[in-house]
Structure 1
Amino acid sequence: MKTCGEVLVELLEAYGVDTVFGIPGVHTVELYRGLPNTGIRHVTPRHEQGAGFMADGHARVTGKPGVCFIITGPGMTNIATAMAQAYADSVPMLVISSVNHRHELGLGGGRLHELPGQRELMSGVSAFSHTLMRPDELPAVLARAFAIFSGARPRPVHIEIPLDVITAPADHLSRRIAALPSRPAPAAGAIDRAARLLRGAEKPVLLLGGGCADAAGAAQRLAEALDAPTLLTINAKGVLPPGHPLSLGSNQSLEPVRALVRDADLVLAIGTELGETDYDVVFDGGFDIPGKLIRIDIDAEQLSRNFTADLAILGDAGESITALLNALGDGTLERRGSERTAAVLEQLNRDWPQAFLAQQQVLKTVQQALPGVIIAGDSTQPVYSGNHLFEAAEPRTWFNSSTGYGTLGYGLPAAIGAKLARPERPVVALIGDGGIQFTLPELASAVEAGAPIIVLLWNNSGYGEIKRYMVNRDIPAIGVDIYTPDFATIARGFGCNAVAARSLEQLSEQLQAAAAADRPTLIEIREDADFIAALALNT
């Protein structure tokens, strides 16, 4: 006789799940009974928030859902932040938790880990949250979850299983998985209308979001066919290759780019929510689209948010781009796209802060030393500058938590998840000294899991960006000059290598050595280091 928990892991494996992140507890141990009979790997983080961030990083580089096993109550409140980050950035994640026995739900009896309304709490950070009241519901609920991951806007899904349901007999359940839906294709009439508008446009601009990550080749052909200056959200970096003559990077918040968009007679936005953390990181409400707007999105509700479209097309980004290319036919519509792009880039390049340019040299050193690198970033200064200046070689290789929900502590565990998913690639966690203290114990998880990531630690002895924000507004700098521990000693105590970089040449050597190591390596860069100051002066 197999229990519901045992059948669950069999079905997960059938859906292609190969890794689960979780911390076993007395309320989830029955989920683990069947794991040895599958090929699913279990990774133990040191905190449930770390589990969620690992699942997020795993999902971002693969496009497949990251999966977590989480205990009732505190486990769920701990992972809620990670789920919210994934929800905001449209990252697929399956969180399976326990919950108290069915006859105890909602009674407030003070049971271990009891939460009033756990499902309702998690529904705010998930596409749906479901309480499995009978084993017989399991195949259909999992099918619903994977249908969202496959054919809709990907977001976290939460399934909670009462303790008495986890252990209930379930041998009779079918192990046959549901056919997954294809991604929705756009309406032919809407595509024809979009093609007519695009042919008639004289100064179009193309906005590409993370929804285009798996359609990079087609998106590049569309940009070239339209001869349109193209902007990428942070999660779309790499959709156009570095140095592409139509690419304006991710600089939607800067005035020369905004002026270009205001001057456009038609803007085509594909797979982007047109949200604040990509289009208005200066928080002044200054991004505007006065011309016609065509929006294409897989989420019908998103088509009506932030900016009103003149033409709204519901469909998958890849399917829609292919349909548009077919409707436009062969040839390029000449609109001086490269010339318009170059003019804006020239303006941008005159005004970059020196600190940004110095940090760009650090990021270029990372790229040169580590071909094929994946960078999982936190909310820290080199990430902010990299969001503007870094050019990813391909999609799904630059992502961070400065977008969407904007949490701290993301970079380290997300890099672990990414490395476990792509062990053949060098993976860097780009994180600050404040952010790393949120999830610092996950260094032990990386050692234990055999994930030799590289932690590039930008140390400015506090919450430097917030301090600048306060000082610029004449607010007393309270709470931002925090105690800074000896990170190298701590890292070594966790079983990692640890070094400090004192020049770009030394950094390059350290990165290459770290990529060949059998354990994680922490490389610390002091913001006030002499070579960083020299870079700022010489750029």
Structure 2
Amino acid sequence: MSDARAENVERDVRNGGDLVVETLQALGAKTVFGIPGQHALGLFDALSRSDLHFVSSRVENNSAFAADGYARASSEVGVLFLSTGPGALTSLAGLQEAYATGVPMVVIASQIPLDGLGARRKGMLHQLDDQKASAANVTKSQRLIQHASGIPSAIQDAWTEAVSSPQGPVWIEIPQNVLLDPIVVPRVEDALAEPFDNPPRVELVREAVKWLAQADRPAIVAGGGARRGHAEAALLSIAEKLKAPVVSSPGGNGAFPWLHPLSLQSWVEDRYVTEVLEDADVLVVVGSSLGEVTSNYFTLEPRGRIIQIDAEPRVLESNRPGLGIRADAGQALEAIDQALSTAALAEQKSQWHGESPEELVAQTLSKVMARLDSQDLAKERQFMADIRAAVPDDMQTFWDMTIAAYWGWSCWDARGGEFHSAQGAGGLGYGFPAAIGGSVGLAAHGKPARVLAVSGDGSSMYSIAELATAKQHNVPVTWLIVDDGGYGILREYMVGAFGKATHTELARPDFVALAESFGVPARRVEAAQVGQALKESFAADGPNVVVVETLLQMFAPTHLD
């Protein structure tokens, strides 16, 4: 330790790292995720003088997933500390998921000292030519702080941006010397970060209501923005006023009651549901881009007019022309709902070629079930039903990119819990670390913290090191690993496309023995026993693992003939 730094310790002089943690606490942060690094030591030393709870992951990408899961489960901002260079870069795939899904996060990365910044002027360890440029594709904005006095305002501004719709991660980086050098800035006592207001324009609401009031066959697609915008009440009211069938995207699962007579649930990948959306004379798309999955892999061809509501202007009309309303989903639907209350709705509202909308929904879901009946999928359907029956109604679940999750996108009734998956960017390894963060977030807010993570054997290997994190922090996560010996969904895709699969088979560990080597209880059960095994695991303390060796198949969205 240098003489100057030793003197700082003796005098208890505050530094830039203290400003960071003081500002975060003033903004309401409770938890920080990350991994220490050489240039970030000032951040982590300052944590020791704060009340912030730190959760140390084993891989930075998983730290990003954990902060993402924390934010989703708690409806608070996830905070992530990163070290310079390799640490910062390793986090980017996790941040891509948060950015694609609209998860609010404040990411604070360290940097080399200020006098080394530039195109390899000093060749310092971890140095990048422009580190924040690496994050430009996966964060809303990027800031470099060059002086300690700028730290509180920069973090406050970043927090405001993160929680303003469209929500997402915001990147801040702070050089090593700015974190370590003594400061004269007073202790941060208060900070305020309120989301920017994002209401719809009046003339767009008026036009949307005009279309809807005249519609005979309105239908609604509820995407992830409907959940993020807390639009559930207005969505329900509008659907019931219009008698409009509602289908939820995977990200929108939970935005509309699953068993409501107007609910097409989440069967967006079935052609029978796609045909209903195509037949609507006005299709309201709220909080969704009508992207790959929600458009049934771009087979959706609407014949009516489209009203698209989204907080992200780049999403509007990106896949289909329509009346684009740039607004927070909750604010937009509330405005439309209020206007519909006084509008003269068409007398023959929502008559689908002689059928009531409730009859149409019931018949469509019956057709979906009949299609599944024809495809020899009894094992898969029972497996998902057993998991659903075992999971308490209010338990939050986190799903990796695995066949069970693909089923979950369509068939999972979220009930009082919340359904979280990695469908935004589609990277592997999300489920378990996100569940760790989610559980920590629930506990921080005094809520029951037991959660479920679901992974395949391939995706689980991306996050297997986080068993150490779960054990160290005694996080009550039950991890279900569905082991089919390879990348199951890729195997199925390749067989379907080429008649054979290549390089999808995987050597894998004994997951039970591996978990137990971390001190985490684990068991291996048959597929038919998964429900009972989960119930018993949910009743235990701390983390545990359930492994099921089974081969699941996906359903076909159309007839196979």
Per-residue deviation, residues 34-88 of structure 1 (Å, max 9, x unmatched): 2233321000111101101101111111222211111000101110100111111
Q: Given that residues 157 and 193 in structure 2 are in contact (C-alpha distance below 8 angstroms), is that contact kept between their aligned partners in structure 1?
A: no
Decide which moves more: 14-23 or 300-309.
Answer: 300-309
Matches within 5 A, 1:68-217: 68-108=80-120, 109-172=122-185, 175-213=189-227, 214-217=230-233
Q: Given that residues 252 and 287 in structure 1 are in contact (C-alpha distance below 8 angstroms), is that contact kept between their aligned partners in structure 2?
A: no
Q: How far off its partner does 1:475 sit?
A: 5.6
**In 2: Cα distance, 1:458 partner to 1:515 partner:** 17
Per-residue deviation, residues 64-119 of structure 1 (Å, max 9, x unmatched): 22111110001011101001111111111211111111111123132111112111
**In 1: Cα distance, 2:182 partner to 2:165 partner:** 32
Query: Secondary structure at 1:39's aligned position in 2?
Result: coil
Q: How far off its partner does 1:528 sit?
A: 4.8
Of 458, 474, 477, which aligns to 1:434? Answer: 458
1:483 paired residue number = 507
**In 2: Cα distance, 1:357 partner to 1:140 partner:** 57
Pair 1:407–1:528, CA change in 2 (3 A): closer
Of 270, 275, 287, which aligns to 2:286? Answer: 270
Pair 1:61–1:149, CA change in 2 (3 A): same
Q: Given that residues 80 and 108 in structure 2 are in contact (C-alpha distance below 8 angstroms), is that contact kept between their aligned partners in structure 1?
A: yes
Q: How far off its partner does 1:129 sit?
A: 1.1
Of 392, 396, 400, which aligns to 2:414? Answer: 392
Q: How far off its partner does 1:197 sit?
A: 1.1
Aligned AA for 2:386? Answer: T
Q: Given that residues 416 and 446 in structure 1 are in contact (C-alpha distance below 8 angstroms), is that contact kept between their aligned partners in structure 2?
A: yes
Of 248, 261, 281, which aligns to 1:245? Answer: 261
Decide which moves more: 450-459 or 344-353.
Answer: 344-353
**In 1: Cα distance, 2:246 partner to 2:551 partner:** 36
Query: Secondary structure at 2:251's aligned position in 1?
Result: helix
Of 517, 530, 533, which aligns to 1:510? Answer: 533
Aligned AA for 2:147? Answer: R
Q: Give the unaligned 5+ runs of structure 1.
A: 530-539
Pair 1:118–1:277, CA change in 2 (3 A): farther
Aligned AA for 1:414? Answer: A
Decide which moves more: 199-208 or 231-240.
Answer: 231-240
1:522 paired residue number = 545
Query: Secondary structure at 2:95's aligned position in 1?
Result: helix
Q: How far off its partner does 1:346 sit?
A: 1.7
2:237 paired residue number = 221
Is it true that 1:338 corresponds to 2:358 in the alignment?
A: yes
1:367 paired residue number = 388
Matches within 5 A, 1:311-330: 311-329=323-341
Per-residue deviation, residues 367-404 of structure 1 (Å, max 9, x unmatched): 33231221100111111111111111146x11212x12
Aligned AA for 2:127? Answer: E
Q: How far off its partner does 1:132 sit?
A: 0.7
Query: Secondary structure at 1:251's aligned position in 2?
Result: coil
Aligned AA for 1:406? Answer: G
2:379 paired residue number = 358
Q: How far off its partner does 1:140 sit?
A: 2.5
Q: Given that residues 159 and 193 in structure 2 are in contact (C-alpha distance below 8 angstroms), is that contact kept between their aligned partners in structure 1?
A: no
Per-residue deviation, residues 180-212 of structure 1 (Å, max 9, x unmatched): 134312122321221121010000111111111
Per-residue deviation, residues 267-305 of structure 1 (Å, max 9, x unmatched): 11111122213323xx4x311223111111112222232
Aligned AA for 2:151? Answer: L
Q: Given that residues 212 and 239 in structure 1 are in contact (C-alpha distance below 8 angstroms), is that contact kept between their aligned partners in structure 2?
A: yes
Of 13, 18, 30, which aligns to 1:6? Answer: 18
Query: Secondary structure at 2:275's aligned position in 1?
Result: helix
Decide which moves more: 520-529 or 441-450.
Answer: 520-529
**In 2: Cα distance, 1:156 partner to 1:349 partner:** 39
**In 2: Cα distance, 1:263 partner to 1:385 partner:** 25
1:254 paired residue number = 270
Decide which moves more: 179-188 or 518-527.
Answer: 179-188
Is it true that 1:447 corresponds to 2:459 in the alignment?
A: no
Query: Secondary structure at 2:380's aligned position in 1?
Result: helix
Query: Secondary structure at 1:500's aligned position in 2?
Result: strand
Per-residue deviation, residues 414-472 of structure 1 (Å, max 9, x unmatched): 11111111241431111000110111010110111111211111110111211121122
**In 2: Cα distance, 1:170 partner to 1:269 partner:** 51
1:411 paired residue number = 431
Q: Given that residues 3 and 169 in structure 1 are in contact (C-alpha distance below 8 angstroms), is that contact kept between their aligned partners in structure 2?
A: yes
Q: Given that residues 440 and 449 in structure 2 are in contact (C-alpha distance below 8 angstroms), is that contact kept between their aligned partners in structure 1?
A: no
**In 2: Cα distance, 1:13 partner to 1:33 partner:** 15
1:500 paired residue number = 524
Decide which moves more: 181-190 or 264-273.
Answer: 181-190
Aligned AA for 1:243? Answer: L
Alignment RMSD (CA, Å)? 1.9
**In 1: Cα distance, 2:79 partner to 2:114 partner:** 24
Per-residue deviation, residues 236-284 of structure 1 (Å, max 9, x unmatched): 111112211111122223211221112111011111122213323xx4x
Q: Given that residues 161 and 167 in structure 2 are in contact (C-alpha distance below 8 angstroms), is that contact kept between their aligned partners in structure 1?
A: yes
Aligned AA for 1:405? Answer: A
Query: Secondary structure at 2:339's aligned position in 1?
Result: helix
**In 2: Cα distance, 1:357 partner to 1:248 partner:** 21
1:535 paired residue number = none
**In 2: Cα distance, 1:172 partner to 1:393 partner:** 49
**In 1: Cα distance, 2:377 partner to 2:341 partner:** 41
**In 2: Cα distance, 1:134 partner to 1:449 partner:** 35
**In 2: Cα distance, 1:170 partner to 1:89 partner:** 38
**In 2: Cα distance, 1:318 partner to 1:512 partner:** 36
Q: How far off its partner does 1:356 sit?
A: 5.2
Q: Given that residues 360 and 386 in structure 1 are in contact (C-alpha distance below 8 angstroms), is that contact kept between their aligned partners in structure 2?
A: no
Q: How far off its partner does 1:139 sit?
A: 2.5
How many residue pairs were aligned? 522
**In 1: Cα distance, 2:107 partner to 2:495 partner:** 41
1:17 paired residue number = 29
Query: Secondary structure at 1:522's aligned position in 2?
Result: strand
2:313 paired residue number = 300
Q: Given that residues 203 and 265 in structure 1 are in contact (C-alpha distance below 8 angstroms), is that contact kept between their aligned partners in structure 2?
A: yes
Decide which moves more: 483-492 or 341-350.
Answer: 341-350
Q: Given that residues 515 and 521 in structure 2 are in contact (C-alpha distance below 8 angstroms), is that contact kept between their aligned partners in structure 1?
A: yes
Q: How far off its partner does 1:144 sit?
A: 2.0
**In 2: Cα distance, 1:355 partner to 1:84 partner:** 36
Q: Give the unaligned 5+ runs of structure 2.
A: 1-12, 351-355, 553-561
